[in-house]
Amino acid sequence: MRQRSKRHMTLAYLAKTDTKAVLPDFRNLGVVLRSILLVQVMLCLFALVVAPPTGAEVVQEIYQAAANVEPVLLLSLLLLFVIAPGLGKIPYRAAAALVICAAAILASGWNLMLSLSPAMPPQAYAEAFRAGLLGSVAAFVTVFYFNWRHRVFSPALTEARLMALQARIRPHFLFNSLNTVLGLLRDEPRRAETVLENLAELYRALLSETSTLVPLARELELAHAYAEIETMRLGERLRVNWQCQDAALDALVPPLMLQPLLENAVYHGVEPSESGGEVDVSIFLKGDQINLVMRNPCVSPTRRQAGNRMALNNIRERLALHFDAEAEMSTYKSGEEFVVQIRMPYKHGRTA
């Protein structure tokens, strides 16, 4: 009971820290597509309300409304794409208000532009005000939707993150590492010290905050630290082939992504085999995409595969959280190898 209560308290704390109001990244393809779809849904609902209850009139109303809405929607998304970096630097409420005001101004301006004539009718300004009001409502609903979506998915992601964290800090790994240190203390104290330093660095990262992006160079450092520990323990049974000379080390990636993949490869592919095996880690930049490919020996299905799926699902969820539709992860068997492929956008600069 005490352990379950402690687990719930931890989840509540993590959920509280992860569900702060956030503004979506309007340079993300998934955000743009969802915004367009959401506006189309609102457009159809508006047509159903104002049009007579017959099919022809509803279609006509949607067609007429779309002629006015679509240009404003595209202009708004273009403006948000341009100012997206600045929006992330100001408080959420100010950024949300700016988005809503921008949509209202663009909708009013477009409506006035369509009404421009030598003899502009008096009701043109009233129509522009109405268009601006509708634009602000659409923007408010869009901002509210993305914030609601973040709050809904955050508890599930927090649960997955905590489960993966508990799974990664496996007692067998800690005990095996400490046994390795004990075996080296008398004859090779410097190597024992190196194992302890790598172990401390690894656990410090595992217990740190995981909601922000980190440089790829940092992820590689942790993966190398883990590989050194396991190499000292398994000896010649473990061989790690690093192909990262074409990697963009300044790329921002989800934290704790590479080390768990490497741990899965060792735990599920190399350790069960008496002869060991080789793990290939390839990271390279292609265009504006970071590509990661990891290969390890494929053993027959065991109970360990459930933990493997859990860790992979956690990484897949965090990729979706940070990059939405711009990132993808796939796993498959190729002959006697298990392959993990990850593609994500190349983002660099300050950590997000």
Residue keyed to tokens 């990636």: 253
Report the predicted TM-score, pTM, of the whole model to 2 decimal places: 0.63
pLDDT tens-digit profile of 137-184? Answer: 888 998 888 888 777 666 555 555 555 554 455 556 677 777 777 777
Residue 119 CB neighbour total at 10 angstroms: 4
pLDDT exceeds 70 at position 33: yes
More confident position, 65 or 222: 222
In this predicted model, what pLDDT tens digit does every residue of 116-145 receive, in sequence order? Answer: 666 566 677 778 888 888 888 888 998 888
Burial readout 241-266 (b: 16 or more C-beta within 10 A, e: otherwise): eeebeebbeebbbbbbbbbbbbbbbb
pLDDT of residue 344: 93
Average pLDDT, stretch 182-204? 78
CA 194 distance to own-chain centroid: 33
Which CATH number applies to 169-345? 3.30.565.10
CA-based max dimension of the chain: 97
Phi, psi for 351 (deg, rounded to 5): -65, 140
> Which pair of structure tokens corresponds to residue 242?
């690093």
Phi, psi of 143 (to 5 degrees): -65, -45
Q: Judge contact between 321 and 155, C-beta under 8 A.
A: no
Range in 60-69, 75-84, 313-322, 324-333 the model is least confident about = 60-69
State the span(s) of the chain assigned CATH 3.30.565.10: 169-345
DSSP 3-state of 3: helix
Per residue in 298-348, pLDDT (tens digit) is 875 554 555 556 778 878 888 887 888 889 999 989 888 899 999 999 988
